[in-house]
């Protein structure tokens, strides 16, 4: 995978919040491969919910670009049970990261956002960026989605008032090696893979199976985030921009694909007493392909096979 437009990362100082996490570690790896001086930061370096600690850390690094991947999150169950943490903690993290980036003299701030920031029932599917503010997000992750909206709105203000160039890649649902292995935090792909590998007689899937999602392999997501960062460093004010595959798949079809990748032979049952979440979720990737010249190279089938292989290694074979 390569950046869509020629860009030299040589000696660029990049601070990556959440740099030891699911997405962040892939961002850091790609940055280093491309010659950047990448500094990953996580909870061991600073509590980003604390303003003074965040500013002190950013001042120490003095980055050219901040790639903000840090997040307090989980799957639909965790979001529903922790609306305070998913809203409050992310709002604090996002506000303080923006403020610290400005105070440390960063030229560019790339804040990783999410497709869940879109309205629950948008006027058009796939979602174009122009519909971002046209309605309330899905209630099960409303506070988290609003924290992302706050970040994007405040980022625009920093651009207007202080000239810090901002980009906010709104990612489709992430999956891939390195995702959560704890059931309460796992997103849908990770959760279903873990259940399949446990080989129950019946695989229980939350919801009706009719809801649709768009899934983005984590290594592709990291490359897409860096495509946004490169464009921003070249002076392009992207603002919120969709980064995904542009393909939606029903939860029922996803469950079947995961069962196939896991060689699962049991029955699949849908638990309609559990929430579906947003009825449909799919991104319009027109700006991504035209303004960034970038597209996601990994098919869902290939991505699932690689992800299942990682979970087998970690959970079944006891690897790390």
Residues taking part in catalysis:
144
Contacts of 236 (CB under 8 A, 6+ apart): 165, 167, 291
What is the rounded CA–CA span in Å between residue 157 and residue 122? 25
Closest of 152, 288, 311 to residue 214, by C-alpha: 288
Q: Please tell me the distance from the alpha carbon of residue 128 to that of residue 241, in angstroms, as a whole number.
A: 9
86 contacts 147 by C-beta, under 8 angstroms: yes
- Contacts of residue 121, Cβ cutoff 8 Å, sequence gap at least 6: 135, 279
d(CA 123, CA 140): 20
CA distance 222 to 28: 9
Q: Please provide the DSSP assignment of 266-311 as one string.
A: SEEEEETTS---SS---B--HHIIIII-------HHHHHHHHHHHH
Pick from 66, 71, 69: nearest CA to 98: 66
Q: CA-CA distance, 243 to 264, in Å (whole number)?
A: 31
What DSSP letter does each residue of 69-136 carry, written as one string? -------HHHHHH-HHIIIIIHHHHHHHHHHHHHHTT-SEEEE-EEGGGS-SS-SSSSBPGGGTTSSP
Residue 70 and residue 54: Cα distance in Å, rounded? 12
Q: Count CB-CB contacts under 10 A for residue 133.
A: 13
């Amino acid at each position: 995978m390569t950046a869509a437009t020629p860009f030299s990362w040589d000696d660029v100082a990049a601070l990556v919040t959440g740099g030891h996490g699911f997405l962040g570690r892939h961002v850091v790896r790609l940055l280093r491969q491309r010659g950047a001086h990448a500094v990953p930061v996580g909870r061991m370096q600073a509590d980003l919910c604390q303003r003074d600690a965040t500013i002190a850390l950013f001042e120490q690094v003095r980055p050219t670009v901040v790639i903000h991947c840090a997040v307090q999150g989980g799957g639909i169950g965790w979001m529903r049970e922790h609306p305070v943490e998913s809203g409050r903690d992310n709002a604090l993290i996002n506000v303080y990261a923006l403020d610290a980036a400005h105070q440390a003299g960063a030229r560019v701030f790339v804040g990783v956002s999410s497709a869940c920031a879109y309205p629950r029932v948008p006027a058009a599917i796939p979602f174009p960026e122009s519909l971002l503010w046209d309605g309330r997000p899905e209630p099960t992750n409303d506070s988290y989605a609003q924290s992302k909206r706050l970040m994007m709105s405040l980022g625009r203000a920093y651009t207007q008032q202080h000239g810090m160039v901002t980009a906010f890649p709104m990612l489709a649902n992430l999956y891939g090696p390195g995702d959560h292995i704890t059931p309460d935090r796992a997103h849908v792909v990770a959760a279903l893979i873990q259940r399949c590998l446990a080989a129950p007689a019946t695989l229980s899937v939350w919801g009706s199976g009719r809801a649709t999602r768009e899934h983005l392999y984590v290594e592709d997501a990291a490359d897409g985030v860096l495509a946004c960062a490169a464009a921003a460093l070249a002076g392009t004010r992207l603002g919120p921009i969709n980064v995904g595959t542009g393909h939606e798949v029903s939860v029922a079809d996803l469950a079947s694909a995961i069962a196939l990748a896991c060689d699962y032979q049991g029955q699949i049952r849908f638990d309609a007493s559990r929430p579906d979440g947003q009825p449909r979720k799919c991104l319009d990737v027109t700006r991504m392909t035209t303004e960034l010249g970038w597209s996601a190279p990994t098919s869902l089938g290939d991505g699932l096979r690689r992800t299942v292989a990682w979970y087998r290694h970690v959970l079944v074979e006891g690897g790390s």
